[in-house]
Structure 1
């Protein structure tokens, strides 16, 4: 997914701060997922367990960190917490791409997010032969029956992935190439656990927050502070969702049976965006990009399934979706979190299974 950094009303990119878990939590609750040594996402412990060795706890994160070009692969990943390495095994075995009710709605764009039920619980397992000394603690989950009001102060805590010039536009659609260093500084060079502060904009279906984020922070907990205690209200999905995100995800999640109605809808939307750029000299490069898009998508119309050669192209279009929205006047400045109240009872069931 595409987590985003955006400027405030003064055009300034807000800076995150380093977060000290020992000081704030009195132990380690938030860690990072790694795929082949590369940061894949963030997760947090919501249950510490010692009765089913080698399982030592349950971690909650975003399901999409286990997705590779819209194929859900629930395979164990390395989870590093307190500078110690564990194995995290997802307990959700599949995602139901065909169930339309499983797609939560972005309350501002009114568009379904691109991943159904974007959350997953993982068993946290010690690795045989490793020595462990870090104190693991769990984060408290907020009372799901309590209302969440707009303007409520929030904190997003996670591990940002290193930002490169070739992915700057995806992560910060309004940033210029010359601002790469400035953007990196917003996330403290992308090598620390950071906290981003903001407030709630909307809490219908999905939570919209002004907390900024970066790639790698998917699965980060969104917290509020009640009586000096941190409580989790949501799980970071990513940036705003657009029609491009939803339609591309629908096409790629069922590559073997091409939906021509979804393809036609995507072509029509791209042509709509193209018409917004053709009279602006500054957007000529985008007009040319749209022309290529339309021609490429029209070629797909001759197939009954998506050829492998087209998959990277569609994935690239997915990644550029927010930049396309920004460039054509639809500046969406917020990040989306899945409210924990949507699966609060599921979390209780998992907790009861691991005393």
Structure 2
């Protein structure tokens, strides 16, 4: 099997991840953090702090207690949007967003918020030059993906960051497609919320994600429950991370995420992924009867998307699996506005997305498979 659906989830994990989860369970040494003075509770409290430290260090951040751990990135994005914005607030976003951003924003709109959408150019770049024309007196933030989960195009976050700073806006970034796959450091940003997922290029298990808060943000409570302290308060504690982490922590999975991150030699991984992505892109670009929806720049998520003229994307994805044992993703990728912009709502797009576990030989096999399928539709 050649697995090329890593933009959805990476199923190949380092052995250290499984070992960390198993050891945490079998050791019987991890209770509920902040719930007791006995060793097992204190062990969990310390280890959860170490998880935050590992994540913070990986992204060039030095405040571990502002690393919020959630069941996945979608929970994190929902928490942020619901806790920061309310009726009459205006948010600028883009047509490249995943539904994990769009649906929380649509819910805000339903409750009286306003939305504006930056369009794409012909090379799949978000038109950041149009930011000024969407600015309103009630604009509060720009909520944007770091890289499209369809085209892999990296967003010009530094330009957006300058714009938000100049206009007193908040910047919220969906980092699902870049965390662990593209060089990124929070040292380049003054005020940002960066949401990440654990189960893709960070090599953690499903059920892990979160967001990092850098700068001054005023959050409202959106989710509440046990915290282990302030028991007589009717509200969730206001400090981070407790405001967003009521209830029992998923410590076993987060120890797996910590182990996954610790296996990543960033520069080697980034170089390997970039090489394979360019190899796949260049190979498919030379095939007749194929339309690409990825245009590589200096930085790009490890994604190559395409269609074959005369074929529905689901047909191609089915053939790739049934005849070549290649896992891909077809249809609309939870990115409806991208597909509306490309007029691919009905046929969809075939997406191939890589991980550091892929090899050159797998890429060559995949190029050959796409070429053979494309010829069959001539």
What band does the TM-score fall into relative to the shorter chain?
under 0.3
Higher helix share: 2
Higher strand share: 1
Larger gyration radius, structure 1 or structure 2: 2
